[in-house]
A = this chain, B = another copy of it.
Amino acid sequence: MTRPLTSAERALSALREMIMGGQLAPGARLGEVELADRLGVSRTPVREALSRLAAEGLVQVVPNRGARVATWTVAELEGVFDLRAVLEPRLTALAVPNARPADVDELDALARRMQEVGAPGPDQDLDALVPLNRAFHDRLVALAGHPALAAALAAAIHPPIVRRNFLTYDEESLRRSLGHHAEIVAALRAGDPDWARAVMTSHIANARAVMVRAARLQTTATATPEEETA
């Protein structure tokens, strides 16, 4: 049975979703009253949520001057992928001995579903990939059973993006990426940590190449520091 969430918690996850989902662009101003109105609560829980998001790195707060959705530079983005390249393969290897058949089946289902909705053609639905991808990686993190590693990874990944960015994958990279998921499932089934680790290393490298290219394009395209609220 799930405990009724507090207003602050709802505000927190609502804001997180808005930012992660791209409805709130990086650099967008986050006025307390506006958010409070939109979420149907007072400023107090909104302030608490913003505070926590700032601690997570999703939001930047300057005292007396309000909060904005965090922005990042290409260098920061590369730093994040540096780190993912160290942590995630390790985490994947850890997951191997802990994965029970049921877990593997679940990951398998996610990987297959991603291949379906990601396949080029009229039924392709890139937006649907985002939650599936998150589910896949979250499941893997949970299987690793290493809270400290998970916390470190979360701290590093949150600030930037990783989401709504399947939009930026070119066809070949996307096919590679989806193939990696399936291959990780295979490695899990085979119980081979080294295999799993290697695939995840490739997976991150592939994602890194895509993201960095996209970020470069984006920053050159938007020379104007955008000032939008929604």
Write the residues of chain A forming the contact surface with B, with a CB cutoff of 8 angstroms: 3, 6, 8-9, 44, 47-48, 51-52, 54-57, 63, 76, 79-80, 82-83, 86-87, 90, 146-149, 151-156, 159
Contact = CB atoms under 8 A, between A and B. Distances in A.
Copy count, this protein chain: 2
Q: Which 10 A-B pairs have the closest CB atoms?
A: A155-B155, A55-B55, A152-B152, A79-B148, A152-B156, A80-B148, A52-B55, A148-B156, A151-B155, A83-B148
A54 B9 CA distance: 13
A180 to B, nearest CB: 22
B63 A147 contact: no
Contact of A86 (B51, B57, B86, B156): B86
Given A6-B63, A63-B6, A83 B51 contact: no
A8 B52 CA distance: 13
A152 B51 CA distance: 19
A159 B151 contact: yes
27 contacts: A3-B63, A6-B63, A8-B51, A9-B63, A44-B44, A48-B51, A51-B51, A52-B52, A55-B55, A57-B151, A76-B148, A79-B149, A80-B148, A82-B146, A82-B149, A83-B146, A83-B148, A83-B152, A148-B156, A148-B159, A151-B156, A152-B152, A152-B153, A152-B155, A154-B155, A155-B155, A155-B156
Nearest to A77: B148
Contacts of A153: 152
A76 B154 contact: no
Contacts of A159: 148, 151
A204 to B, nearest CB: 13
A92 to B, nearest CB: 14
